[in-house]
Amino acid sequence: MHLFVFIFVLLMGCLPQFCWASPLKVAVSILPQKYFVERIGGDRVAVEVMIPPGANPAVYDPKPDQLRKLSECQLYFAIRVPFEGVWVQKFRSMYSSLEVVDVTEGMELMNMAAHTHADADESHAHEHHHHEAGLKDPHVWLSPPYAALMAKNMLNAMMRKDPENASYYKANYERLSSEIAALDLELQKRFSRHAKSGPRKFMVFHPAWGYFAKTYGLIQLPVELEGKEPKPAQLEKFIQLAQKEGLKVIFVQPQFSKRSAEVIAEAIGARLVTLDPLAYDWFKTLREAAQAFDENAN
């Protein structure tokens, strides 16, 4: 009997040490955010992703099971993808205990590229866009400097919400930040080799790579027109532009139709290359994109 009482008291006394075993529950919009949260939080976080692999973040609606899991979350990391324009305010009103954190805080957001200029030789200040009024480009995670700032915003929120594990989160963030800085230097060296010849251009269907292009002195030429596939007359202009620039690759992504890109590619004898900016493994995504742009930009 005395042994039982001793073990019970011992376990009760040790219980506070295991408080972290109940993870901090965090929700995010897209898979790359999950990667960053898990790098910072390790086994002390549980992450729910609202937009599953392959889904289009412009039109996705969460499923009932996702809403149930979201009700248990303490943090929601918003990143301004179109999905959030409809749903984040609903989340706030549905779940009073859910703190929504904008991970783009402190960033200078670009306007979303709406379509390519007919003349791609215009000045770099106007290199890739007329714009849809008021629509900001959410793809900040594709620029390493902004990805590091996004991770810092996540860290601050996680330490505030779970101060007992703050030192653990901070140590993980510092390792992650160091790796991001090393990748940034690697990509700067890769693309600086071409700096003297002027900005190199690459054509994409959906304009996801604007921050990446700006960071490394490239020009993104998007086919998509204000979220819509171009009409036949507009397609002809893109074909002429691609021929003029000597582009032999058009970059597409899994979440969007390839129909218009296929038309252009067939007309100019180009091929399609798939890059997924919404893939989980952020470092792999950026290294693959850097290699593809370096090999195929003109």
Mean residue pLDDT across the chain: 85
Consecutive H or E run containing 237: helix 232-245
8 A C-beta contact, residue 92 and residue 100: yes
175 and 264 co-located in one domain: no
Q: Exposed, middle or buried, 234 (CB in 10 Å: 0-12/13-18/19+)?
A: middle
Is residue 217 domain-shared with residue 273, that is, in the same domain?
yes
Same-domain status, 162 and 85: yes
State the pLDDT at residue 51: 95
Residue 223: domain span: 195-296
Residues 177 and 34 in one domain: yes
Cβ atoms 74, 24 nearer than 8 A: yes
CATH classification of the domain holding 93: 3.40.50.1980
Whether 153 and 269 map to the same domain: the answer is no
Q: What is the mean pLDDT of residues 122-144?
A: 63
Instruction: Flag whether 188 is in a domain.
Output: no
pLDDT of the residue at 230: 73
212 in the same domain as 71: no
> What's the count of helices (H) and strands (E) in the chain, helices before strands?
10, 10
Q: What is the pTM of this model?
A: 0.85
Q: Is the pLDDT of residue 222 over 80?
A: yes
> Which of 181, 205, 229 is a domain's end point?
181
How many domains does the chain contain in total?
2
pLDDT band for 2, please (50, 70, 90 cuts): low
Residues 25-49: b if buried by 16+ CB within 10 A, e if exposed = bbbbbbbbbbbbbbbbbeebbbbbb
Greatest alpha-carbon span in the chain: 88
